[in-house]
């Protein structure tokens, strides 16, 4: 009711606009040249109108629901979560005009004209900013004025990387970026005290032909000379003399105990470095710390190597605080043109061991439940920054089916993971690779028992793999060894007879199976970049199983087991799966304003069983519907293709191919409440013809006819530590029906199995 009332009152937005004032309705920007985008100019407009959601000033409507003459209760609350009317201010328009003009000048449009027009009607004002641009001024000539010859040589070495180019439009932002680039480049060559303040530009815009000349200058350093008078001198290069490492530094004791704290340490010289530590076994092995450093005694100071060392030490996850400090000693090398720096590295360890108990909510395809986890962590198991985790887990989860009501699943499991901060590869040690890419090796073992409504399953898993970061956004994961032993000790007889036995594909899916193979994953993630309006996420997975085992069996001359359909090999009296599988998940998040964003997602994947397998293992098959799929269908109830399963106690449709696309518009409402509207489309298919599931096979000529479409809306409750979500999805197009009846608008609700809507309750965003 509050939402409806706020929406209605937003239709009367001037309720609390004072007499003689007007409400700022909208800002419009018009530019006569495509070289400048309107979106780049809107941030310079000082006064923004009230936020809108689907064109409705919802938050202003909340404010208008209150009585501004009452200070307490619901009225104060509505004003706090709402947004007061934005009163049009001519001074803000004038300042916006000046800011837009300044921005355009910084982009080379020195004679840009900005004209504003205000239209007022019904106590609301619209502001129009008309931008008139000529050709931008371009850089004609760059002249260097570098007083220090040593700095000049360094600058000219990297002149090809300069961001200022002749013949390109003048851009003040590029000048600032060039200052930052040269500052880092010079500091990376040992000039510790060099800064961007020493770099300046003089721009002459009086050159005919809409051109500018730029003087690119670097000033000398200023030092305090005799009589405490400033003296201009050339810049000085620094070398790192000594590196002192505190591997177990305690900031609190350092501040409270002072010199007594320093006296409690011993100094150990190791491979040219000085480790300052208390007697006893070091928290982390010295060799691992040195392997993480890009700094060397006797080498010139390097800013980038300092930052890399900091990042590498933090990546060990054994330290909660890393400080790298430099100081200039009083003694100077005689007869040298460089000076010394001493480097101090203070490392504050994390708590080595921890034991936690977690009570959490779970969500598997929209089925809600709870879990109790007992977790033990050791962040430095063998004093080499090894991360060891052990988890004992018990979970209970509801499993909703419209035909039978709510059932449940129970789960018990144990998991152990060991992460090593290096590549555990025999005979191969590459310190340069380790320093550059922060690789790690993971060893994992898991056992899981699951009791589902119609069958019981156990899963034993062991894996060994590597991970490394190509840069801040790209991660690679390679698991050359993954072993999964899946056993299904019990299947409900009715489910086996009425569902599994009705399809040869499902008969081969629900089998005890050994999965032995490897996988590769690539992740590109820019979602954590602050101030970015466009965020991309991309995950690519590829895996294969059974190829090596089958090759070994054939070389060894093993005899395959034959049945009425095919022949296959067994190892230790256990059939093994053979398949290849790959999928891609791409997401794009566009932030529209402070309260709304739109997210696009696309998913495509396929698995192909062959040779030793007639079907993909059940755990590796795709499914559709539910909280993270097409939300108009219950989980696992859609597909494959146009196949319509018979009424059964338990619906569990799976396939080898999956295509899905989603669009979701998200918006903040009030307090912890968020809203969303969405459209989902896609389906799953079988990769081969299945006579027991007509219409399930994927075909390039008709797969578009099998696309299911759902749409709906949802509410989210952001509790900070967890986000609760409810989505109500409606079927728009059902591929199980034929002709025009596939569209919901042309048929009645009774013609759709399971109804035309599905309500899902979930944890976290769907994607």
pLDDT at 335: 67
pLDDT at 405: 47
**CA 379 – CA 370 distance, rounded (Å):** 27
Model confidence pLDDT, tens digit, residues 372-403:
889 999 988 888 888 999 999 888 877 655 44
What does pTM read for this prediction? 0.83
Give me the residue spans of the domains in the chain.
2-132, 138-233, 242-349, 351-453
pLDDT (mean) for 16-40: 92
Q: Which two tokens stand for residue 534?
A: 């466009």
* Model confidence band, residue 108 (pLDDT cutoffs 50, 70, 90): very high
**CA 144 – CA 158 distance, rounded (Å):** 14
CATH class of this structure's domain 242-349: alpha beta
Q: Round to the nearest angstrom and report the end-to-end CA distance of the chain.
A: 29
Where does 259-407 have alpha helices with state H? 259-263, 286-291, 303-315
What CA–CA distances, in Å, run from 23 to 30, 54, 593? 21, 19, 19
* Model confidence band, residue 2 (pLDDT cutoffs 50, 70, 90): very low
Position with higher pLDDT, 371 vs 735: 735
Query: Which single residue is written with the structure tokens 């007992």?
Result: 374
Q: Does the pLDDT value for residue 259 go beyond 80?
A: no
User: Which of 100-109, 154-163, 175-184 is least confident?
Assistant: 154-163
Model confidence pLDDT, tens digit, residues 652-686:
788 999 999 999 999 988 888 899 999 999 999 99
pLDDT (mean) for 290-299: 91
CATH topology of domain 351-453: Porin (2.40.160)
Model confidence pLDDT, tens digit, residues 403-435:
444 567 788 999 999 998 888 776 555 666 766
Give the DSSP H or E segment for 484: strand 474-491
Give the DSSP H or E segment for 182: helix 172-187
pLDDT at 650: 64
* Residue 476: count of CB within 10 angstroms of its CB: 15
pLDDT at 21: 93
What CA–CA distances, in Å, run from 347 to 307, 323, 356? 15, 7, 25
Domains 242-349 and 351-453 agree in fold = no
Q: Does the pLDDT value for residue 699 go beyond 70?
A: yes
pLDDT at 371: 79
**CA 363 – CA 369 distance, rounded (Å):** 7
User: Which of 203-212, 451-460, 625-634 is least confident?
Assistant: 451-460
Q: Which two tokens stand for residue 747?
A: 């048929």
Q: Which two tokens stand for residue 699?
A: 């075909």
Q: Does the pLDDT value for residue 34 go beyond 90?
A: no
- Neighbouring C-alpha atoms within 13 Å toward the C-beta of 732: 15
Residue 160's φ and ψ, nearest 5 degrees, are -65, -20
Q: Does the pLDDT value for residue 181 go beyond 70?
A: yes
Model confidence pLDDT, tens digit, residues 535-562:
899 999 999 999 988 888 888 888 888 7
pLDDT (mean) for 442-460: 88
Candidates 75, 25, 17, 82; CA nearest to 49 is 25
pLDDT (mean) for 455-466: 90
pLDDT (mean) for 735-746: 79
pLDDT (mean) for 285-300: 91
SS3 706: helix
**CA 696 – CA 691 distance, rounded (Å):** 9
Q: Does the pLDDT value for residue 303 go beyond 60?
A: yes
Domain 138-233 indexed as CATH 3.10.20.310: yes
pLDDT at 363: 54
Candidates 177, 150, 146, 147; CA nearest to 161 is 177
Model confidence pLDDT, tens digit, residues 742-753:
887 655 544 445
CATH number given to 2-132: 3.10.20.310
Contact between 708 and 758 under an 8 Å Cβ cutoff? The reply is: no
**CA 644 – CA 657 distance, rounded (Å):** 17
* Model confidence band, residue 101 (pLDDT cutoffs 50, 70, 90): very high
**For residue 467, what are the β-bridge partners?**
440, 477
Average pLDDT score, the chain: 86
- CA dihedral 613→616→618→619, nearest 10 degrees, is 110
**For residue 707, what are the β-bridge partners?**
none
pLDDT (mean) for 228-235: 86
């Amino acid at each position: 009711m509050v939402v409806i009332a706020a929406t209605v009152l937003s239709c009367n937005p001037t309720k609390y606009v004072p007499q003689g004032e007007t409400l700022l309705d909208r800002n419009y920007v018009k530019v006569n040249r495509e070289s400048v985008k309107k979106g780049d100019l809107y941030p310079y407009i000082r006064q923004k109108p009230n936020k809108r959601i689907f064109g409705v000033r919802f938050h202003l409507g909340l404010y208008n629901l209150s009585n501004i003459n009452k200070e307490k209760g619901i009225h104060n609350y509505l004003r706090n979560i709402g947004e007061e009317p934005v009163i049009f201010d001519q001074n803000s328009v004038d300042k916006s005009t000046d800011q837009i003009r300044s921005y355009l000048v910084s982009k080379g449009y020195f004679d840009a004209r900005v004209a504003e027009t205000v239209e007022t009607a019904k106590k609301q004002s619209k502001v129009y900013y008309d931008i008139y641009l000529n050709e931008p001024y371009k850089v004609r000539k760059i002249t260097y004025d570098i007083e220090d010859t040593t700095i000049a040589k360094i600058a000219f070495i990297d002149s090809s990387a300069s961001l200022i180019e002749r013949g390109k439009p003048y851009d003040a932002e590029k000048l600032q970026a060039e200052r930052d680039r040269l500052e880092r480049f010079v500091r990376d060559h040992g000039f510790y005290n060099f800064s961007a303040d020493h770099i300046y530009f003089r721009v002459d815009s009086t050159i005919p032909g809409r051109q500018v000349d730029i003087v690119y200058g670097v000033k000398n350093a200023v030092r305090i000379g005799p009589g405490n008078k400033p003296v201009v001198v050339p810049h000085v290069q620094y070398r790192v003399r000594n590196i002192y490492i505190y591997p177990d530094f305690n900031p609190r004791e350092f501040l409270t105990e002072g010199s007594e704290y320093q006296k409690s340490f011993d100094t150990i010289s190791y491979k040219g470095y000085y480790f300052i530590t208390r007697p006893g076994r070091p928290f982390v092995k010295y060799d691992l710390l040195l392997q993480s450093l890009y700094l060397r005694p006797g080498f010139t100071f390097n800013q980038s190597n300092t930052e890399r060392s900091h990042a590498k030490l933090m990546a060990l996850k054994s330290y909660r605080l890393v400080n790298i400090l430099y100081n200039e000693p009083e003694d100077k090398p005689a007869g040298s043109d460089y000076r010394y720096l001493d480097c101090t590295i203070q490392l504050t360890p994390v708590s080595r061991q921890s034991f936690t108990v977690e009570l959490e909510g779970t969500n598997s395809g929209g089925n809600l439940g709870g879990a109790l986890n007992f977790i033990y962590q050791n962040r430095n198991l063998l004093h080499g920054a090894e991360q060891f985790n052990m988890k004992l887990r018990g979970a209970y989860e509801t499993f909703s089916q419209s035909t039978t009501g709510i059932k449940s699943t129970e789960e018990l499991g144990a998991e152990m993971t060991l992460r090593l901060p290096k590549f555990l590869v025999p005979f191969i040690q590459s310190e340069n690779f380790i320093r550059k890419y922060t690789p790690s090796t993971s060893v994992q073992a898991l056992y899981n028992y699951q009791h589902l409504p119609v069958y019981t399953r156990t899963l034993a898993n062991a894996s060994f793999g590597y991970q490394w970061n190509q840069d801040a956004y790209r991660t690679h994961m390679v698991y050359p060894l993954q072993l999964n032993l899946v056993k299904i000790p019990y299947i409900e007889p009715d489910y086996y007879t009425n569902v599994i036995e009705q399809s040869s594909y499902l008969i081969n899916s629900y089998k005890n199976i050994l999965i032995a193979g490897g996988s590769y994953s690539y992740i590109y993630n820019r979602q954590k970049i602050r101030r970015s309006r466009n965020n991309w996420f991309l995950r690519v997975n590829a895996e294969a199983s059974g190829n090596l085992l089958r090759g070994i069996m054939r070389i060894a001359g093993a005899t395959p087991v034959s049945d009425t359909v095919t022949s296959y090999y067994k190892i230790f009296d256990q059939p093994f799966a053979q398949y290849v599988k790959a999928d891609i998940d791409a997401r794009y998040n566009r932030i529209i304003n402070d309260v709304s964003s739109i997210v696009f997602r696309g998913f495509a994947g396929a698995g192909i069983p062959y040779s030793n397998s007639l079907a993909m293992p059940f755990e590796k098959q795709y499914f559709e519907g539910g909280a993270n799929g097409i939300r108009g269908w219950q989980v696992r109830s859609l597909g494959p293709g146009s196949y319509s399963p018979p009424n059964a106690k338990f619906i569990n449709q799976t396939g080898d191919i999956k295509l899905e696309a989603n669009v979701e518009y998200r918006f903040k409402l009030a307090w912890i409440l968020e809203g969303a509207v969405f459209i989902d489309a896609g389906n799953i298919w079988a990769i081969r013809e299945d006579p027991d599931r007509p219409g399930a096979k994927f075909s390039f000529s008709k797969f578009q006819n099998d696309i299911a479409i759902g749409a709906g809306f949802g509410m989210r409750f952001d509790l900070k530590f967890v986000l609760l979500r409810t989505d109500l999805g409606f079927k728009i197009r059902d591929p199980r029906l034929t002709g025009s009846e596939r569209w919901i608008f042309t048929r009645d609700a009774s013609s759709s199995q399971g109804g035309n809507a599905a309500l899902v309750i979930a944890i976290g965003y769907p994607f």
